[in-house]
Amino acid sequence: MAESQGTWLTQDAYDRLVEELENRKTVLRKEIAQRVEAARQEGDLRENAGYHAAREEAGLNEARIVQLEALLETAEVGEVAQDGSISAGTIVTAKIAGKEQTFALGGQEIADDVPEGVKVFSPDAPLGAALMGHRAGETVSYKAPNGKSIKAEIVDVTPLGA
């Protein structure tokens, strides 16, 4: 299996995720365990909706802990290139198939760091991969998932948080 590249995160996004992980491991785990135990005390577990809901919540919390640990272990925390080229952490405005769109490149975890209404696209997606390293004024082509070749004219590149 090929080694996957880590998710690019701003320092703020990384810090937020570390804080969420810590909260889930300490505070939430205890609260959920108390709810499971309280529901267990109610008796017959087969028909105890509160017990089953608390157990499901515990499972979801543990799954998110595993997800966060894996994400943070491989995360690439960094500053955005300031040279005008497109990289993870930039906000790009481009005319794609004739329609102007503005989006950020990075993992979904940076969504709180981008301006409201700006979508986040993966740098590994066909469009993101085609744009990487290019600058405003350039035009690139990429192959969409449906196999069509699409042109993207780069209008503007701004570092996230600029």
Domain residue extents for the chain: 8-77, 90-159
Parallel, antiparallel or unpaired: strands 76-77 and 8-9: parallel
Task: Assess whether the region 8-77 and the region 90-159 belong to the same CATH fold.
Answer: no
Q: Say if pTM beats, i.e. exceeds, 0.75.
A: no
How many Å apart are CA 142 and CA 121, to the nearest integer?
15
State the average pLDDT over residues 63-72: 94
Helices (H), 24-155: 29-40, 49-74, 126-131
How many Å apart are CA 103 and CA 116, to the nearest integer?
11
CB 130 within 8 A of CB 141: yes
CB 152 within 8 A of CB 130: yes
Q: Which CATH number fits domain 90-159: 3.40.50.12780, 3.40.640.10, 3.10.50.30, 1.10.620.20?
A: 3.10.50.30
The structure tokens listed for 89 are: 């952490």
CB 17 within 8 A of CB 67: no
Give the residue with greater pLDDT, 82 vs 53. 53
State the average pLDDT over residues 45-60: 86
Instruction: Tell me the per-residue pLDDT of 130-156, one tens digit each, with 9 for 90 and over.
Output: 999 999 999 999 998 899 999 999 999
pLDDT at residue 5 in the model: 63
CATH code of 8-77, in short, is 1.10.287.180
Return mean pLDDT, the chain: 88
pLDDT at residue 3 in the model: 40
